[in-house]
Amino acid sequence: MALLEIDNLRTYFRTEEGLARAVDGVSFMVEEGESVALVGESACGKSVTALSIMQLVQGPAGYHPSGSIRLDGQELMGAAEKTLQRIRGNEISMIFQEPMTSLNPVFTVANQLREPLMLHQGMSARTADARGLELLERMGIPSPDQVMASYPHQLSGGMRQRVMIGMAMACRPRLMIADEPTTALDVTVQAQILELIQELRREVGMALILITHDLGIVNQVSDRVLVMYSGRLAEIGTREAILRKPAHPYTVKLLESIPRGVSREQRLKVIRGMVRPATEFAESCRFVGRCDFASAPRCSASEPALFSPEPGHEVACFLYDPSDPLPRVPVQQDPPVESASAFAAAGGRVLVDVRELRTHFPVKKGFFQRVVGYVKAVDGVNLAIREGITLGLVGESGCGKTTLGHSILRLEGHARGEVIFDGEDILALPPDRMRAMRRSMQVIFQDPFSSLNPRLLVEDIVGEGLRVHEPGLSPEAYQRKLAEVFDEVGLSPSVMGRYAHEFSGGQRQRIAIARALVLRPRFIVLDEATSSLDVSVQAQILNLLRDLQARHGLTYLFITHDLGVVQYVAHEVAVMYLGRIVEYGETESVFRHPAHPYTRSLLDAVPSLVTRDNTRPPLTGDVPSPMAPPAGCHFHPRCPLLRSTQDPHLREACPTRYPPPYPQDGSHWASCFAAERTHVE
């Protein structure tokens, strides 16, 4: 008997728009100790499936019209609340996507770790606290006693996620559900979290349901993969079958949307359109409107069953109907994959020259607000960004990437140094001159929803810059410019009368791009502009950004923690650690021959889609406080090279002196004493 058996699960919600069939007839099993990945785009029903297993879908809006959920033979659907309370956290536990919203902000970590142990294990408060301290140590958290006394807002994202895992593992459950447990984390913290989950699985023999849209993670940790689309399962198979021989047209498209391994001279393949709302699901193949092989009338008239092209591999597609398979001839085809001409002609004179830029924030205490120190967010950065290129800026959270981008745009009042834009030092410009300069320098933020005013129509959001910088425009010219920029970012001008909440995440990001583009700037800072998007939507946005750069000669500073995206979009890359650039060079040179141990650690932490390599230990520790950076090389307390070397020069120099930049090849340099050995004279 399987540990978990789900049969014909349906989870519906009553909404103002009608009945939303979020999960619409899902069946699968999870064996003891098995790791199952549930993948698909946003709004496909993955998280609702997880909440249904935990019986956390509450009425009257949400309900289950049918289905069965059995844990080790015990029916959970409709079980008494007392029974469910015994099972939740004890037999089944869940790691939620955003730990900051899942952890109670008014209780300390100790209070929250204590709760499941006292409730399910019958421990006393003192025994539960001792067990909680042991759990935090097991999670690799430094100074666990301090963390126990802390509130969630006082911890980093990686720390909060470790606390969530500790709570989920407290009672050693038989099944763990992890809902996007690493989405908002850096690749290094992500690698630590995944290694920790895998280690705990081996130790406890726990089964895992992993919900994610990162197929690299799927390759590293999963035994079996369920591909979900529009509330139903589109494909089920082993990890090797799904990733190496995808059968469903949707799975094929998902894999093709990933930028890893794609030549920078080629456009990414995309999935046309988007997932339909759950209130509009038709009694047909759910993917029919986006599929290259959809053949009327069968695909549009009925839903396909799960067919088996090979043992253990099931596909809900009429292409695999053994009685009458569809012909394998594309009915619809994507346009030809064109070359990305931006790379051919990129790189002219220096447009943005950053010299000894420092952004130190004073830390004040007491009644008189006495300055007791400084947070050195940006600490002596030099960059030369050439016109027409994309410079990728990478590093962990807390390294100063966003502060550097905002400082370059003079959005941080504490920035000191020089930022020469087109021959003028913008940090020294008077306010009226800086106001005029703003039209040439724009920014696109990570979360388009929070950066778009919810009370304004998108027409007013995008047109705000025109009203400020071109007040003399006639109404006709104003509307014409708006229509042009909406059309350029792939949105119909007819949507200008809507509000931001009426759009999908990808559409909102296009609106943010339109807002930045309407003034025809020369330089744009993109701060994690694609990190919150599905891979399918991300591919559309990356293609759009490449097209706009080629068309208008735009210069980008692309801030991200996704190294696969950087490798695809960036001509040059700067690696930042604790306020300083530690490595810089052409992207191909840095990725092929990383000279700094930090860069190598970042690259090693990226989960591969091709190989399943669990031999490299993840980078340990967290980024130190920028208020008190370590002496010498700031990276030396975490440096895997320094821990393993017996070189007396490195063991003496790294903890005591900050390394200068050592040239490697061409424009490639690294601030590392080990890189001195490959110093190019």
pLDDT, tens digit, for every residue of 214-261? 888 999 999 999 999 999 999 999 999 999 999 999 999 999 888 877
Domains of the chain, residue spans: 102-172, 343-674
Residues of the chain by 3-state class (helix, strand, coil), percent to 5: 35, 25, 40
How many Å from the N-terminal Cα to the C-terminal Cα in the chain? 68
**CATH C-level class of 343-674:** alpha beta
Model confidence pLDDT, tens digit, residues 155-189: 877 778 888 888 888 888 999 999 988 776 778 87
* Category of 28 on φ-ψ map: left (φ > 0), alpha (ψ -120 to 50) or beta: beta
Query: What residues have CB less than 8 Å from 665, skipping those under 6 apart?
Result: 585, 589, 593, 680
Give yes or no for a contact between 62 and 319, defined as CB atoms under 8 angstroms apart. Answer: no
Question: How far out from the chain centre does Cα 126 lie?
Answer: 39
Taking residues 363-375, what's their average pLDDT?
88
Question: How many other β-carbons are positioned within 10 Å of the β-carbon of residue 501?
Answer: 9
d(CA 197, CA 203): 10
Percent of the chain with pLDDT over 90: 59
Alpha helices (H) in 470-562, listed in sequence order: 475-488, 505-517, 535-552
Q: Average pLDDT of 403-416?
A: 95
pLDDT at 224: 97
**Which positions ≥6 away from 587 have C-beta within 8 Å?**
264, 392, 566, 567, 570, 571, 572, 573
The pLDDT-based confidence of 345 (bands split at 50, 70, 90) is very low
Whether pLDDT at 263 is above 90: no
Angle of helix 109-121 relative to helix 125-138, nearest 10 degrees, comes to 110
CB-CB contact of 173 with 201 (8 Å):
no
Contact call for residues 207 and 32 (beta carbons, < 8 A): yes
From CA 41, how far away is CA 286, in angstroms rounded? 13
Cα–Cα distance measured from residue 422 to residue 349, given in angstroms and rounded to the nearest whole number: 10
> Which residue did the predictor score with more confidence, 623 or 511?
511
Q: How far apart are CA 296 and CA 288, in angstroms?
A: 9
Question: Exposed (0-12), middle (13-18) or buried (19+): which is 429, by Cβ within 10 Å?
Answer: middle
Q: Sorting pLDDT into bands at 50, 70 and 90, what band is 337?
A: very low
Percent of the chain beyond pLDDT 70?
95
> Cα dist. 385→346, 382, 530, 673 in Å?
11, 10, 21, 26
User: Distance between CA atoms of 392 and 380, rounded to whole angstroms?
Assistant: 18
When pLDDT is averaged across residues 307-319 and rounded to a whole number, the result is 94
pLDDT tier at 295 (50, 70, 90 boundaries)? confident
Distances (CA, A) of 272 to 289, 291, 294, 327, 330: 8, 8, 13, 21, 14
For residues 352 and 444, give the distance between their C-alpha atoms in angstroms, rounded to a whole number.
18
Question: Strand (E) positions, 134-231?
Answer: 175-179, 207-211, 224-229
Q: Is the pLDDT of residue 341 over 70?
A: no
Q: Can you give 250-261 as a three-state secondary structure string?
A: HHHHHHHCCCCC
For residue 204, give the nearest of 87, 32, 36 by alpha carbon: 32
